[in-house]
Structure formats: structure tokens, C-alpha cells
Structure 1
């Protein structure tokens, strides 16, 4: 007991002799602003947050430095960003529930500027937008950047139109069983219908949708085209079938027509398939198309690519192919004269940045998320009139 008392006395004396802890000073929070326009090698990557879907978001990255520039929230089952043609602002169609994953549903389009990435005005829209793993044709904008076109599926199909300039809801328009939207000019687009035909449509100055003529079926039911075509001109889209056949669709007339048909495959390559969530990319200045390819069966069109095959779209010839050190489910390319090729794999937290001329890896931007899907490069640097 005597020893215990002596020990306690020593400890008490030591505590009394110790200097007082320095008072913690409050940390000053600061806001860092970006440039007011996206740069040619800035790129947005969607994180659909598949395992916690109420928390979707998009990351803004600098592909030249590997810097993480910022993030915006996209709510439940985040889709894509609607980036203005001048790359100074963007809108985000989003879904939220009053109790997180349940309760009253509210769909909004939120407006942001690039400089601060802070949410601005919101427009409430019908709570019907199509929610899935994202792809670009579910919510594009018109070529002039004036209107947002949002595909709805309840399972009734319709389109919601938002005036992006005036930041107001225009209306909801039935689409008679046809889906998605593929722009073909400042105020025109077409939709993909269940029998393989394409429905044309236009918007007037107020944003009202008028349906036009319907094409004849352009894709065989035995070898249907997927819903991820590639735009290579103002009114030209390349559709890809499950057997990796290409259908060049021209929408310059009253109805869309297939102008050319060709194959991604050469002799002895019948076992290869195009696949992925965002399987093709187009570099307008050079006319080169980059395709994610893998060896697999006929119904593996959603599998990631193990190689990138590069084509000259004008001649329809393959120029090169290079193996990837890991598979990729999405591919995109910057639109400038010194382009970067971007790759992500759903389930992997990295964005890979490659030299598209050689396939050489330039850098990996890691630590992002495991459920990245759509890649959206900056519109800065794209050739005039390029998609």
C-alpha cells in the first residue's frame, strides 16, 4: 500500500509539472476554384455506386497530371452529365428519395458551372426518368445545347424536355414505344424502336416534340443492333450488331436508312466480339474509331474488351490492334489534335490514360471507385460540327 501511494504521488507530480497542451486552433476552410472552362484533357467519369445506388456521383479528372479536380452528386442511379457545348457549365438529371432509399421520389435537373462545381438552380421534372447502368443516349442534349432530352420508362415510354437556357420544364411527350434519343442536328433526333426501325423527331423553338416518319426495320431480329451506337457525323451513326457487324445509318432524309454495311471482323476472327458498357469511341479529326474487342460467344456483347482495335471509318479498314494489360468495359477519346484514350473497367477503381496512336499507357489515375461506367471527355478541342 505504501509503495502504491508513493507511485501515485510520483505520477501526480509528473502531471503537474507537464506543460499545458497547446490550444487547438479552428481550421480555416477554403474553396479552390477551377478554370471556368473544361480543358481538352479534362474528363468526367461516372460512378453509378452500384452497391449503394442512392449515392451516385461523377469525378472530374485531369488526364495530363492525374489530378482529381472535383466531384458532383448524381443521386440514385446516376446517369450522365449534360455538358454545354462551350464546356463552361453542365446539368445533372438526378433522382432523390425523401427517406434515402425510399419515400417520396423527386426528380430534378440541377445546373452547375465548371469553375466552382457548386449546385445552382434546379428544375423539377416528372419522376419517371429511366434508371439503369448509364449510357449516353438515355439523356442527351440537342446539338445547340438548348434542350435536355430525358428518356422515361415506367414501363410506358416518353421523353421529358427541359429548356437549359431558360432553366424550365417544357413538357413530357409520348414516344409510341420507341426508346432513347440520338441527336441528328440542332433540334432533331431519332429513337430506336422494338422492331429495328428508327423514329424521327424534331423540337420547335419552345421545345415541343413532334414525331416524324418511321423508317423500315433496319436491323434483323436474328442479329439485332445494340443501344450504344457511335456518332461519326452530324446525321450519321454507326450501329453495331451482336455479331460485330456495322450498319452506317444516315438520318439526313425524312427517314433513316442504312447506307453501308461492313464488319469489324476479318477472316478467321469470327470468335471475336465487340463488348462493354461504352464499347466504341471516335476521334473526329483523324476519322479513327476505337473498339473494345474480346474473344467470346455470340451473347457476350456486354463483356469487357481485352484488346483495342483501331479502324479508319472512311475506308472501313482496321489499322492496328493492341492488347490491354487489364480488360476495359468503357472507352473514350479526347477530341483535340493531341488526343488521349481513356479506359475504365467496371469493378476496378482506376482510369487508364493511353496514347491512342500506340496503345502505350501514359498514366493510371487510381483510388476512384469500383463501379465506374460512362466516360465523358471535354468537348473543348473537338472539330467544328463533330459529334
Structure 2
């Protein structure tokens, strides 16, 4: 009886203390609030959770701290508004989770408070997330282009100003989109050509360049790099050939060169069992646009090892066509991105576990390590 009475007394004491604490907080005028973010900065990096994972985390590479999270569903692609006002997500959901009525849309989120602003319904989209080139934004931020395959390949054109779907443009045999300010957008095609699509008129006009690569012999990584200031796209093949396309109504593609040759080695080839340095990873390269330096994940392997994680970072000066720095990595990396400020920072993540590493872009020195940063694609804002 004594033990039971003690327990009751203890419970009453705790209850009285909680009540008193609540009264004090009420007298102090306790309020709740929602913090707002700064406009996106060039030193921020946006990191997807990974394949099948939801959410895109925002980190400040200078501090290694998390700033916020954008609500990106598992089957989605993200694109950053070049003006820094919005984050766009092309996504597909079902009314009952994994079944029910399918809904395809472009979701619009405010960049300051991360609140949903609008859902723009579209007919369809390709159900493969984690691909930058499946959803792109025009340089002026007014148009969105969403790649689709249902079952033929096409591109949904979305007016982001009026927030409405405009039209779908059939684009047989082509994918991997890039902005083309002169006309609309361009895309890589299975015949080795570059398709250019003019979208402004009543009827779209599609033209093709001459074939310049082999989609079966030495394909091009789809995570290529677009430079708005130069209106150029830098591309890389599985063997490490670097292609530069100058965009416009009639794009031109410069003669390719080998990243291995730029580092003083023989160019890699497609011979079976030949071991060499090859580019690889889920996101194998990143371009620091102000300097023209291309950061590439490289590994020792054989041809068709293009998904292997990077053991080193090779920094290629695209003007001199020389590898100017090499950074060995402690842990192989699957994704690489670089911030666009005057002092570039490298973001890397591991495919397994999703830990993030932030390195100084000039020295390769490790500045921050972020546990479970996200195992997916990384994005950065262009420099203003």
C-alpha cells in the first residue's frame, strides 16, 4: 500500500509541474512561427534522396548545414527556375498510392517558403526519375519542357508564366533535352544527330544535324552540361570523348577530343578487356561555368563500366583542353556537382548510404561531411 501511494504521489507531482510549466509559457506569450529561406544562392546544392526516395534537401556548401527540403515525390524530376523564384517538379502520382487514377503534373513551389503554388496538369511524362535532361527550363524561366514516352517519345511544352500545358510535340527516336534559346530546345537522337525543335509557331519545326556520335558504339552520357552564357552544351562519351555543341537555329558540334589525352595518356577505346581510365557514375561530370572547368569522375576499368563510381576527380580546362588537377577520393563517388560562385565547391555523394562530401574545388580539401545527405542527383543554381 505504501509503494502504491508513493507512485500516485509521484504522478501527481509530475502532473503539477507540467501544469505549472504550461501556465508559465502561456504567461510569456508562447507563439509558433515558420521560418523563411533566403533566395537560392550559387553556393547551395540541391540533393535528391535517391532512386525511389522522396524529398530534395538543400545544403549550404560553405557551412555544410541543411537549409530546407523541397517536396519531390519518388517518381519525379526537378528543375530550378533560373530567376531563383521557384522550384519546379514534374511528377506522377496515383490517387491510391500505388494504384488508382494517374495524375501527371508540374508542381510549382515558392523558393522562399517552399509552399506549393500550383499544379500544372500535363498529359503524360516518362516514369523515370533522377534525370536532369527529362525536365528542363528555358533560359528566361518562361517555358518548361517535359520528356514523355507513352509509348512514342514526345515533349510536353508548359507555359510557366500562365501555368498551363500548351502542347505535346512528337520527337521520335530522340531524348535528353537541352535549352536552345534561339528556338526552343534540342535533344540527342539514336541516329547520332542533334535534333532542334522550334516551338514558337503554330506548328513545331524539327531539324537534325549530321550524325556526330555512335549511340551503340560510344554513347554520350545523358547528364551533359549546358552553359547559358555561352549557349553551349558540353557532352562526354563513355570512352571519355568531349563534345561541345554551340546551339542556335542550326547548332554546330566541334571536333571531339579525349579527356585521357588531355591528361597525358593514350585515348581510351572500346576494345574488350582493355583496362584504362574511364568516366563513370550516375552523375559523372559537372561544369564550373565561370572558369570553363569540367569536373569528371574517373575510375580504372573496362569499356561499359560507365556506371562504376569515381575513384578520382579530373579537372579539365575546356579552353586549353588540358587536365589541370586530379583529386584522388577516399571513398568512390556516384554523383558530382560543383557550385557556380567564384570559389567553387564540389559536392559528392555515395550511392550506398547517401553520405555527402564537400570539397574545395581548387585544392580538393575536404571541408564538410554530411551523413545521409541523399543518394541521388545533385543540382546547383547558376551564378547571377
Q: What TM-score bracket applies, with the shorter chain setting the length?
A: 0.7 to 0.9
> Aligned pairs, how many?
361
Structure 1 residues 209 and 32: CA distance shift in structure 2, 3 A: farther
Per the TM alignment, residue 165 of structure 1 is displaced from its structure 2 partner at its CA by: 1.0
SS state at 2:192 partner:
coil
Gaps of 5+ in 1: 1-8, 383-387
Per the TM alignment, residue 261 of structure 1 is displaced from its structure 2 partner at its CA by: 1.5
On the 8 A contact 1:218/1:257 being kept in 2, the answer is no
Is 1:295 matched up with 2:315? Answer: no
Match of 2:42 in 1: 40
Distance in 2, Cα, partners of 1:107 & 1:209: 24
SS state at 1:95 partner:
strand
Match of 1:360 in 2: 365
On the 8 A contact 2:225/2:233 being kept in 1, the answer is yes
Per the TM alignment, residue 44 of structure 1 is displaced from its structure 2 partner at its CA by: 0.8
Among 6, 9, 13, the alignment partner of 1:14 is: 6
Per the TM alignment, residue 16 of structure 1 is displaced from its structure 2 partner at its CA by: 5.2
Among 200, 209, 217, the alignment partner of 2:211 is: 217
Among 130, 153, 158, the alignment partner of 1:157 is: 153
Gaps of 5+ in 2: 269-275
Q: 1:101-112, aligned counterparts within 5 Å?
A: 101-112=98-109
Structure 1 residues 356 and 13: CA distance shift in structure 2, 3 A: closer
Per the TM alignment, residue 363 of structure 1 is displaced from its structure 2 partner at its CA by: 0.5
Per the TM alignment, residue 268 of structure 1 is displaced from its structure 2 partner at its CA by: 5.0
TM normalised by structure 2 equals: 0.87
Per the TM alignment, residue 209 of structure 1 is displaced from its structure 2 partner at its CA by: 6.6
* Residues 227-253 of structure 1: per-residue CA shift (max 9 Å, x gap): 222224543222222211122223335
Structure 1 residues 186 and 375: CA distance shift in structure 2, 3 A: farther
On the 8 A contact 1:173/1:209 being kept in 2, the answer is no
Distance in 2, Cα, partners of 1:147 & 1:87: 15
SS state at 1:349 partner:
coil
Among 220, 225, 233, the alignment partner of 1:230 is: 225
Per the TM alignment, residue 29 of structure 1 is displaced from its structure 2 partner at its CA by: 4.4
RMSD of aligned alpha carbons: 2.2
SS state at 2:133 partner:
helix
Distance in 2, Cα, partners of 1:348 & 1:45: 13
Among 181, 197, 209, the alignment partner of 1:185 is: 181
TM normalised by structure 1 equals: 0.87
* Residues 206-243 of structure 1: per-residue CA shift (max 9 Å, x gap): xx672332112111342232322222454322222221
Structure 1 residues 112 and 175: CA distance shift in structure 2, 3 A: same
Distance in 1, Cα, partners of 2:257 & 2:195: 23
Per the TM alignment, residue 187 of structure 1 is displaced from its structure 2 partner at its CA by: 4.3
On the 8 A contact 1:47/1:78 being kept in 2, the answer is no
Among 260, 273, 277, the alignment partner of 1:265 is: 260
Distance in 2, Cα, partners of 1:361 & 1:285: 22
Per the TM alignment, residue 361 of structure 1 is displaced from its structure 2 partner at its CA by: 0.7
Per the TM alignment, residue 269 of structure 1 is displaced from its structure 2 partner at its CA by: 6.9
Runs of 4+ in 1 over 6 A off after TM superposition: none
Distance in 2, Cα, partners of 1:209 & 1:191: 18
* Residues 296-334 of structure 1: per-residue CA shift (max 9 Å, x gap): 110011111110001110111111111011111111111
Match of 1:58 in 2: 56
Q: 1:139-150, aligned counterparts within 5 Å?
A: 139-150=135-146
Distance in 2, Cα, partners of 1:102 & 1:17: 54
On the 8 A contact 1:142/1:186 being kept in 2, the answer is no
* Residues 170-205 of structure 1: per-residue CA shift (max 9 Å, x gap): 121211332231112264221111111111112228
Structure 1 residues 260 and 132: CA distance shift in structure 2, 3 A: same
Match of 1:125 in 2: 122
Distance in 1, Cα, partners of 2:32 & 2:315: 47
On the 8 A contact 2:337/2:379 being kept in 1, the answer is yes
